[in-house]
């Protein structure tokens, strides 16, 4: 798993392909635009608490197939 400590979702996405945003997220999930300024640690925290969509977002950000 890549180390994204101290980075926001916006910074992480700069190293990803744009198609990552096309991946289907569960109904009720926040949009990518809503979470752009969240730090990685907050994404992990919300995924651990099973907040709607955050487990999927965490998984997508960690998948190498979206790396540039």
> Reduced to 3 states, what is the DSSP secondary structure of residue 34?
helix
pTM listed for this prediction? 0.92
Q: Which two tokens stand for residue 40?
A: 């990685």
In 3D space, the residue among 61, 21, 16, 20 whose CA is nearest the CA of residue 39 turns out to be 61
Residue that wins the pLDDT comparison between 1 and 40: 40
- What is residue 34's predicted lDDT score, i.e. its pLDDT? 96
User: Model confidence over 13-56: pLDDT tens digits?
Assistant: 999 999 999 999 999 999 999 999 999 999 999 999 999 999 99
How many whole angstroms separate alpha carbon 60 and alpha carbon 57?
5
- What is residue 27's predicted lDDT score, i.e. its pLDDT? 95
Q: Which two tokens stand for residue 12?
A: 């992480």
How many whole angstroms separate alpha carbon 53 and alpha carbon 64?
19
């Amino acid at each position: 798993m890549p180390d994204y400590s101290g980075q926001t979702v916006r910074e992480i996405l700069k190293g990803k392909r744009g198609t990552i945003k096309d991946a289907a997220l569960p109904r009720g999930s926040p949009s990518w635009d809503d979470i752009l300024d969240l730090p990685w640690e907050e994404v992990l925290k919300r995924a651990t608490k099973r907040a709607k969509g955050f487990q999927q977002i965490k998984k997508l950000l960690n998948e190498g197939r979206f790396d540039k």
